[in-house]
Amino acid sequence: EVLSNLEDYIADTGGKVLVEKAEGLSLPVIEGDSTQLYQLLQNIVGNALKFHMNGVAPVVKIWAEREPGQDEYWRIFVQDNGIGFEEKNLARIFNPFERLRARSEFDGTGLGLAICQRIITRHRGTITAKSQPNQGTTFIVTLPEKQSV
């Protein structure tokens, strides 16, 4: 659904989104609030497409794997070939209205990743990223397969 919603944006940027299979599935089935999990993926994949380098079509790879030693958790990876950022700024990107780039460079409210952080916390998971300037970014979302009551 997320990729279908981003279809025009993907075409406009000349980008590609590649979803790799995990255990025979495109992505694992995660129990949770479907609207919030949709928004989580929409924000992360949308950012991966948005923050691409000038003259370079964005390529986004998405895959999942079981959390080593914790089979009840999945790690979902969203990797791009975009502008990246200095990892010393990692904590800042999850703060509301925090921007690492000027508004004139990239559209947005600065709320997307802060919302992602809230969704992840609500679903008993974690979110982090690995990045280097001009080397792209990989977001790593860890979520339990099932939510406890």
Helices (H) and strands (E) in the chain, counts: 4, 5
| pTM score of the predicted model | 0.86
**What distance in Å separates the CA atoms of residue 86 and residue 132, rounded to the nearest whole number?**
5
pLDDT band at 104 (very low <50, low <70, confident <90, very high): very low
Average pLDDT in the chain: 85
The one-letter amino acid at 23: E
Residue 58 binned pLDDT confidence (cut-offs 50, 70, 90): very high
Confidence (pLDDT) at 59? 96
Which of residues 19 and 24 earns the better pLDDT score? 19
Residue 44 · residue 76 · CB < 8 Å: no
Q: Are 111 and 97 in contact (CB under 8 A)?
A: yes
Q: How large is the average pLDDT for residues 126-137?
A: 92
